[in-house]
Amino acid sequence: MEFTAEQIAGFLKGTIEGDANVSVNNVSKIEEGRPGTLAFLANPKYQKYIYDTQASIVLVNEDLTIEKEVRATLIRVKDAYEAFANLLDLYEQSKPKKSGISVQACIAATAGMGKDLYIGDFVSIGENASIGDNVQLYAQVFIGDNVSIGNNTMLHPGVKVLKDCKIGDNCVIHAGTVIGSDGFGFALEQNSESRRKVPQVGNVIIGNDVEIGANVAIDRATMGSTKIGNGVKMDNLIQIAHNVEIGDNTVIIAQVGVAGSSRIGKNVIIAGQVGIIGHVTIGDGAMIGAQAGVNRNMKEKEMVVGSPAFDIREFRKASAIFKKLPELYRQINQMEKELNERKKSE
């Protein structure tokens, strides 16, 4: 589909500078712009590309100062990045949705099925499962017994949702993710060095408007529920252990591991490769820097980095000192040498 600058500006409530009739049918990076595509400029580091880009239309912030002639048509908006995301969302919605149920799918007779579904090849839906309206289940998705999937939810190829788990409305779960795998529970037997598996009889409950990346594992609770709140966004390759609870609108970046029974509040940001030990509480609005190791409770809006994690302000002070350690070490050695020489001369 093609859209003119005038149409795009109307949708975004933006202001046009240039040819209002120029049209685009694809998107591109501003540094790799091609004729007939739309790009955006939000980061000032990329401003140099706007003067040479071949993109036909570029979304820019309202306050951007142009220093020389630009060949592309500009559309000024309040936030270029947000506007670009809105356009991509509109583009995705304009694509025709797949529909229908593959003859190669296996659906239990007791499963409840909603309207306007897409169920791909080799999908398996278990006994007493409930599938809402407008759900899309791509090839090789597995839905266990008694699982509930809410309306407008999309499961990409190879997602496994194991028995008794519940997923809300408007969720997206990417390829290879497993919801409801057993929690890691083993008890040391008396008078023995062996460990006995503790049955994991709980489930996972995922709220509405959640997006979960590829190859994520969210373990079922030992008892009760592992809970993922509304609006949570999770990147790829994340491990969420049994009985963890994650509050609404929290963001978790790739390769994070959260140990059992930890409580993570609302609107928390957890950067990549963070490790969180079990049975801790992370307050609402907290921020945890990349590769931090969290081994204690965190207050609301607290910011930490490092391993073990500590307050970001103290970390910055410590980092400044750390850079000076070689010089401090040299000075201490020199002082020690001078002190020893003085003692010998006395």
Residue 312's H or E segment, with its range, is helix 312-323
Asked if pLDDT for residue 346 goes beyond 80, the answer is no
pLDDT (0 to 100) of residue 342: 85
Mean pLDDT, the chain, rounded, equals 95
pLDDT tens for residues 36-86? 999 999 999 999 999 999 999 999 999 999 999 999 999 999 999 999 999
The residue ranking higher by pLDDT, 151 or 90, is 151
Q: What is the CATH number of domain 100-313?
A: 2.160.10.10
**The pLDDT of residue 307:** 85
| pLDDT at residue number 319 | 81
pLDDT above 90 covers a percentage of the chain that reads 83
Give the global pTM: 0.85
Can you tell me the distance from the alpha carbon of 25 to that of 36, in angstroms, rounded to the nearest whole number? 6
Burial degree of 220 (CB within 10 A; 0-12, 13-18, 19+): buried
Through-space distance between the first and last CA atoms of the chain, rounded to whole angstroms: 92
Q: Name the pLDDT band for 213 (thresholds 50, 70, 90).
A: very high
Active site residues: 242
Pick the CATH number of 3-94 from 3.40.1390.10, 3.30.499.10, 3.30.750.210, 3.40.190.10: 3.40.1390.10
Closest CA to 149 of 221, 59, 210, 220: 210
What are the structure tokens assigned to 270, written together? 């957890």
Instruction: Give residue-wise pLDDT tens across range 303-341.
Output: 999 888 878 888 888 888 888 888 888 999 999 988 888
- Residue 230: the pLDDT is 98
Query: So what's the pLDDT on residue 328?
Result: 87
**In this predicted model, what pLDDT tens digit does every residue of 106-129 receive, in sequence order?**
999 999 999 999 999 999 999 999
Please tell me the predicted confidence (pLDDT) of residue 258: 98
Distance CA 293, CA 303 (A): 13
pLDDT for residue 312 = 84
Is there a cis peptide before residue 199, judged by omega within 30 degrees of 0? Answer: no
AA letter at 254:
A
Return the percentage of the chain with pLDDT > 70, whole number.
Answer: 100
C-alpha dihedral, 246 to 251 to 254 to 259, nearest 10°: -20
Q: Give the residue extent of every domain in the chain.
A: 3-94, 100-313, 320-345
Give the pLDDT score at 186: 92
pLDDT exceeds cutoff 80 at 94? no
Looking at residue 79, what is its pLDDT? 96
pLDDT of residue 59: 97
Give pLDDT, residue 209: 98
Give the pLDDT of residue 318: 82
pLDDT at res. 323: 81
pLDDT value at residue 192: 81
pLDDT of residue 249: 98
